[in-house]
Amino acid sequence: MPRPILATIHADALHHNLDRMRRAAGDARVWAVVKANAYGHGIERAFDALRAADGFALLDIAEAERVRALGWRGPILLLEGVFEARDLELCSRLSLWHAVHCDEQIDMLAAHKTQAPHRVFLKLNSGMNRLGFAPHRFRTAHARLQALPQVDEISFMTHFSDADGERGIEHQRAVFERATADLPGERSLCNTAALLRQGGDAVLAADWVRPGIGLYGCAPDFPGHDAAHWQLQPAMTLSTRLIAVQLLAAGESVGYGSSFVAEVPMRIGIAACGYADGYPRQAGTGTPVLVDGVRTRTLGRVSMDMLTVDLTHVPDAGPGAEVILWGRAGNGAVLPVEQVAHAAGTIGYELLCAVAPRVAVLAA
């Protein structure tokens, strides 16, 4: 028998979450962001459930090729644009739309030979300071693009640094409005957090929104809000089984470093999941976990292939019992990935993307 660890991808949840994003988006069209192999869910597995999107947005040309290979003829956007001149040939061949965030990308376009001019999204750096033209250089970049026969329609995009937090998006939105005022073209601003939390004008003024994490059923702003608050459903369940049970006497410890010591006699379970499966080693004692659908906690250090759970409140659970690291239990109980991430000092995004290749994946 293979190790019992398994990632299950829930098509019904992806479907529901896309619907949820569309409702939040008003009249704007929806890019399904499927970078990083659909945030770890697998592009091929997620595709059918997400094909009601208006387009797919991603970073790697190889991923764009996979989306085309699935038969998608609609828009595909390269969120970081091209990395080298050769990529433009694939953009022409696969009809990819691409972001343009720097002068070097315009130089490459100017030198590119193509029959069909490209649709581009000119990116403004409105304050995130990663990619994009500074506001005072935006019009020059726009004029350069406009003069190129290689360029067809020009749209505009920017990305928010604080859509999930207190600072919000207004300061960046004002910069965007000023920089793009009276330039004709479609606009795209919002990620999941902006779409759900800020809604209103930023969404209404936009032609395209770009939700990623929300599609996968993870709240973008935990612990402020959880997935249930946003009516999102987890699209991935990481499950395994207990492979052993131990009885600890008071004063006995478990695992490397003996970091957990029992204060009273207790029953503990050993689950077949460790950091080599993508479970975060930083998750210390007390990280939530479901055993037979009952919420309990991890104990001690996560090791490479195993972790330990408290069975105090699950007295009937023995070897073979279902363990849910995140997602849905057989009895319908849900453990949001963002809660596990929070206990490990990170975010749901990272855990979803980090599920290891050795974990078998099942589409459900």
SS (H, E, C) 277-293: HCCCCCCCCCCEEEECC
Q: Is 212 in the site for ligand PLP (CB under 6 A)?
A: yes
Q: Which of 24, 28, 32, 79 binds ligand PLP (CB under 6 A)?
A: 79
Q: Which of 159, 173, 328, 342 binds ligand PLP (CB under 6 A)?
A: 159
* Residue closer to ligand PLP (CB basis): 119 or 159: 159
First to last CA, the chain: 21
Instruction: Give the shortest CB-364-to-ligand PLP separation in angstroms.
Output: 23
Instruction: Give the shortest CB-119-to-ligand PLP separation in angstroms.
Output: 16
Q: Scanning the structure block, which residue is given the tokens 């849910």? A: 324
* Closest residue to bound ligand PLP by CB: 212
* Residue closer to ligand PLP (CB basis): 3 or 29: 29
Instruction: Give the shortest CB-214-to-ligand PLP separation in angstroms.
Output: 6
Q: Which range binds ligand PLP by CB under 6 A, 109-117, 168-176, 185-193, 277-285?
A: 185-193
Q: Which of 37, 192, 233, 237 binds ligand PLP (CB under 6 A)?
A: 192
Query: Which residues, in sequence order, are CB contacts of 187 under 8 Å at separation 6+?
Result: 155, 156, 157, 176, 180, 205, 206, 207, 208
Alpha carbon of 161 to those of 109, 128, 155, 223: distances in Å? 28, 5, 20, 18
Exposure b/e, 288-321, CB count within 10 A at least 16 = b = bbbbbbbbbbbbbbbbebbbbbbbeebeebeeeb
What amino acid positions are annotated as catalytic residues? 35, 256
Instruction: Give the shortest CB-226-to-ligand PLP separation in angstroms.
Output: 16
Q: Is 191 in the site for ligand PLP (CB under 6 A)?
A: yes
Identify whether 223 is preceded by a cis peptide bond (ω within 30 of 0). yes
Q: Which of 33, 46, 78, 219 binds ligand PLP (CB under 6 A)?
A: 33
Could you tell me how many residues make up the chain? 364
| Residues at the site binding ligand PLP, with contacts judged by CB under 6 A | 33, 35, 79, 159, 191-193, 210-214, 220
